[in-house]
Structure 1
Amino acid sequence: MEIIKITESNIDTEHICCSIAEKKGENCIQSKKDWMRERLKEGLIFKKLNVRGKVFIEYIPAESAWFPFNAEGYMVINCFWVSGQYKGKGISNLLLEECINDSKLQGKRGIVVLSSKNKKPFLSDGNYFKYKGFKVADTAKPDYELLYISFNEDEVAPSIKECAKNGDIEEMGLVLNYSNQCPHTEKYVQIIKKVADSRELKIKINKYKNKSQAQNAPSPFTTYSLFYNGKFITNEVLSEKKFIKILDDCIEY
């Protein structure tokens, strides 16, 4: 099994997959590649199986990660995906081992990854990481878990910043915070904005454009977080149908 590392020299030609399929004629992946290109300069590592499938791991030093974590000296896993026919073949272990080896070579204290007590879309499977020896370092509402593994027993555990612990924001109404860390956020942000406009609902959209903004976010998952009247609703990148259901179920007109 050949593992390919994405670099500045091959990023334009290598295939990048996501959990959401890109439809013919769309160019969602380009926003991800643009985001990645800048992060590569900051130490981002993206490794994938040499196939056209969702089989990859993406990680970056915590100091450059787009998460509100206190994790100096750690490596942060942004995204980890092994899907379809590639499951159950030891590929997850292989990719995680790549991350562990790279982290040790860079002299990192350990590795952290965001998960949750209850399975959530777009978050790594906490059960898998716990099976591999990761422990819960910290939690945030509603049920986020920051998992970590340290390379030395006496290392200080990382934590979630206080700004992202309680799951609430001060702004009222519909508020969406997002970044281009996922290839498809830009597309789906515009879709839900169109739906909100059609219902004459105001929605405030905040895009994280740099790591400083993301590192001080009000929710641990900075790729996509929807709030209503100050309360966290979901981290799932919403389709039109799912957004309409949320409006029908939760929003007061």
Structure 2
Amino acid sequence: MEYIRVTNENIENEHICCAISNNNDIQVSSKKNWMKERFNEGLVFLKSIERGKCFIEYIPAENAWIPILADEYMYIDCLWVAGSFKGHGYSSDLLTACIEDSKSKGKKGLCILAASKKKPFLADPKYLKYKGFIVCDEADNGIQLWYLPFDQNAELPRFKECAKHPHIDEMGYVLYYTSQCPFNAKYVPIIEGIAKEKNIPFRAIHLHSKAEAQNAPTPITNYALFSDGVFLTNEQMNDKRFLKLLEK
């Protein structure tokens, strides 16, 4: 398999794997715009040269859009291999490339979010364990921070206190989200409309900056839905999922 690194120079012509290919679609353009602003902060997006869901996205942890303390680590936003790409060792290729790149940049290790049991849009804990990752911190809602150290004496990454105990005082549904997930650009307005139509308390908080994301009351910032102050899910809601949630 050949891989290509997406940069500001080629991003307009490259498929970013996790969204449809039409650059005029708000889902694609919002994600690509977010990426463009991160490249100068060290964001790396490495993908298969063939179209499909086979890529890794990572960034220096101090620039990651989550509330962690992990100086001199690299944070993996997403490692995704799906469909016909599964079972060929491509995830190992991508992870190895990330490790080699991170070591060349003097990083102390890698870190990534997961949970004790596989959750949607989070890394598979079984895979992480197989690759040598270890849990170094866990939030009250079961979201875990895993790390792969290059230096055994390096300080462990950890959640900031605001993420360690995810809870808010506001009642009703409250959604924290970023433009990292391309589908948010389409579906957040849709579920806002559904909530308004049904007269259900709902507020969407779009995190526009690294500082906002790094101080959010949740270990997951690309999509974190609260209900009456309690963290509910990180699974992105389309109209059908949200309606099903409301029925419960």
Q: Is the 8 A contact 2:23 2:29 kept in 1?
A: no
Aligned-residue sequence identity (percent) comes to: 48
Question: Matches of residues 38-187 of structure 1 in structure 2 within 5 Å?
Answer: 38-187=37-186
Q: What TM-score comes out, normalization by structure 1 length?
A: 0.95
1:4 corresponds in structure 2 to 4
Any runs of at least 4 consecutive aligned residues in structure 1 with deviations exceeding 3 A, and if so which?
A: 20-27
Q: Is the 8 A contact 2:74 2:109 kept in 1?
A: yes
Deviations 1:181-213, CA, capped at 9 Å, x for gaps: 111111110111111011012211101001000
Deviations 1:142-175, CA, capped at 9 Å, x for gaps: 2111000111111111001110112211111110
Q: What TM-score comes out, normalization by structure 2 length?
A: 0.97
- 3-state SS, counterpart of residue 98 of structure 1: helix
User: C-alpha distance in 1, partners of 2:9/2:22?
Assistant: 26
Residue type of the partner of 1:7? Answer: T
Q: CA deviation at 1:24?
A: 11
Residue type of the partner of 2:92? Answer: N
Q: Is the 8 A contact 2:20 2:28 kept in 1?
A: no
Residue type of the partner of 2:137? Answer: D
- 3-state SS, counterpart of residue 46 of structure 1: strand
Q: Is the 8 A contact 1:35 1:180 kept in 2?
A: yes
Deviations 1:75-133, CA, capped at 9 Å, x for gaps: 00001100011111010000000100110010001000000112111111121111100
CA RMSD, Structure 1 to Structure 2 (Å): 1.4
User: C-alpha distance in 2, partners of 1:90/1:197?
Assistant: 46
